[in-house]
Chain A
């Protein structure tokens, strides 16, 4: 009977394509929008991700995210290093600076100052250059995307000179960093060098990044730091999530994207539900014939659910393929770095597609279940 169900489904190609497109559109919209949403909010915690060596972040008690910073006193570094359970702790500087691009335009840029001695705070992936050259005067590393923006059209190379707040900066390395929420240009330099670029006087330490000793959890050490220094200390994942949470709670992004996702689901339910209902309605006489010649209700329900499942599977596959292609193609654009399709979004959209299909099938199944087989005798 199931092969007959398939032939019935594929017979009206226009309707089959319409049903598949309904599911595919819904799947595409859900995946594309949620992929963008997750990519976007992940940027809020990008600076944390780029310091994988550290598992504890220490900051002023009033800090709520990575962009609103109150500098710490230089002496706090020593205090944190003295807390039991801290394996090491280094300063991290973070500030926005203005940079003059190759063609004379001004661009906002992020400047990260990393520990002079250990260079902890640099992204792990060095694309070009020797990171030890960062110890030279005026040396900076720049993100790949930042290089392309500052020196548009030029091949990626070392030795280019930029002006950071009117001070000379020589590119000695190109690094791959995580896309940021506010700026796509990031310069990395030594902590002491960073202070010169900003020239704001003492107490410029944005964060202290630290590592818990081998036998201690970052959470326990963070609690210790807070208790002994009065500073806020959080594990890296907790701080990253706090930064993301801040974006979720203080911007219109979740509502905006959530509305589009909800519309995608609603349109999916409406289009697929109505079209599948119409499909069953048009085939009702065929179902009645099958019923009259001895097909049980259970088998007819099985046929309807199989038809719905095939529509759902094909539609979901097409939609997921479309979303994957979107992220693959758009991901090649420099301004679209960091957007991706997480597996859990794909799995979630699969569950939504399944729910849409089950709803549509349940709705249509009633007609098949209650169709009077005696209508076969009516002309």
Chain B
């Protein structure tokens, strides 16, 4: 089992197996994953393409059903939740940041950021007020009325971060948040994510194979061939202002 020392656990994976296909075409993508992700830290899930990272976070997020095994998030077993319960759990406890940002092109920045609140039942007007405050904190004061196609990649990712955080989720799941960004913007985004997301009571999971951002990790889990190989505290962990220009 791979777990951090003496830390409270946000996500607990036990013997998670995932198969795709059936019969002769059956392919095992996850081979009994055991993983504990701590609260109050940023955990990176790294590994080569096709090693099962995205499948694992999809199962953690309740978007995909595991073939067997269990995943407990904040003490609740998400793998046993069905239908509306898992949807409500996601809406209340999880925030998502995607590689392709996945902003809704028909909504402006503040409306996009407000979506997570609207999903939980807020009116669009009140959600926009809250989202606007968060976007201001993320340096988007001048751009919050713009539509996604009018924003740069970095600005779009800030909006995506705002959408992931506006409803104050306990867990933030981020898939390749810097893959579509240049190095400098990628660092800016990671600084923001670390600053805003890794509060005392919150856990951040980042799937990446962008080693330029490894210094932002508190813990790094390495995966290959559907297995967790190592889980360790990040020795190169730096505070944002310690990251040199070279690293950027």
Which residues of A does B touch, CB under 8 Å? 1, 3-4, 7-8, 10-12, 285-286, 289-297, 372-374, 376-379
Contacts and interface: CB of A to CB of B under 8 A. Distances in A.
A199 B96 CA distance: 95
Given A7-B107, A11-B105, A377-B98, A293 B64 contact: no
B118 A1 contact: yes
Given A293-B91, A296-B87, A374-B63, A4 B115 contact: yes
Nearest to A10: B106
Contacts of B104: 4, 7-8, 286, 289
Contacts of B168: none
A294 B116 contact: yes
Contacts of A1: 118-119
Q: Can you list the 5 inter-chain pairs with the closest CB atoms, starting with the nearest?
A: A294-B91, A11-B106, A374-B63, A374-B58, A294-B90
A1 B116 CA distance: 10
Given A292-B90, A294-B90, A296-B84, A379 B118 contact: no
Contacts of A292: 61, 63, 90, 96
B130 interface: no
B88 interface: yes
B177 to A, nearest CB: 12
Given A1-B119, A8-B104, 13 more contacts: A1-B118, A4-B107, A7-B106, A285-B102, A292-B61, A293-B94, A374-B54, A376-B63, A376-B98, A377-B54, A377-B57, A379-B100, A379-B179
11 contacts: A4-B106, A12-B106, A289-B98, A289-B104, A291-B87, A293-B115, A294-B91, A294-B92, A296-B88, A376-B63, A379-B99
B94 to A, nearest CB: 8
Given A293-B91, A377-B58, A7 B115 contact: no
A294 B167 CA distance: 12
Contacts of A3: 118, 124
A169 B115 CA distance: 81
B102 A294 contact: no
A373 B115 contact: no
B12 interface: no
Interface string B2-17: 0000000000000000
A282 to B, nearest CB: 10
B175 interface: yes
A304 to B, nearest CB: 15
Question: Which of the listed residues A7, A8, A293 has the most CB atoms from chain B within 10 Å of its own CB?
Answer: A293
A379 B208 CA distance: 13
Contact of B119 (A286, A294, A374): A294
B120 interface: yes
Contacts of A297: 87
Nearest to B173: A377
Contacts of B218: none
B70 to A, nearest CB: 19
Contacts of A372: 63
B36 interface: no
Question: Which of the listed residues A10, A285, A292 has the most CB atoms from chain B within 10 Å of its own CB?
Answer: A292
A293 B175 CA distance: 14
B90 A293 contact: yes
A8 B106 contact: yes
A2 to B, nearest CB: 9
A292 B90 CA distance: 8
B126 to A, nearest CB: 12
Contact of B64 (A4, A290, A291, A374): A374
Given A3-B124, A379-B100, A379-B179, A293 B116 contact: yes
A295 B88 CA distance: 8
A10 B104 CA distance: 13
Interface string B55-83: 00110010110000000000000000000
A376 B239 CA distance: 30
B205 to A, nearest CB: 12
A337 B95 CA distance: 66
A252 to B, nearest CB: 49
A41 B182 CA distance: 73
Given A290-B119, A293-B91, A376 B102 contact: yes
Contacts of A12: 106
B96 A376 contact: yes
Contacts of B111: 4, 7
Question: Which of the listed residues A12, A290, A373, A377 has the most CB atoms from chain B within 10 Å of its own CB?
Answer: A377
Contact of A377 (B90, B105, B106, B175): B175
B135 to A, nearest CB: 17
B120 A4 contact: no
A296 B54 CA distance: 22
A19 to B, nearest CB: 15
Question: Which of the listed residues B61, B92, B102, B179 has the most CB atoms from chain A within 10 Å of its own CB?
Answer: B102
A379 B154 CA distance: 17
B73 to A, nearest CB: 14
Given A7-B106, A7-B111, A293-B96, A378 B54 contact: yes
A3 B122 CA distance: 12
B88 to A, nearest CB: 7
Contacts of B63: 292, 372-374, 376-377
A344 to B, nearest CB: 39
Contacts of B120: 294
A373 B119 CA distance: 15
A176 B75 CA distance: 85
Nearest to B87: A296
Contacts of A377: 54, 57-58, 63, 98-99, 175
Contacts of B54: 374, 377-378
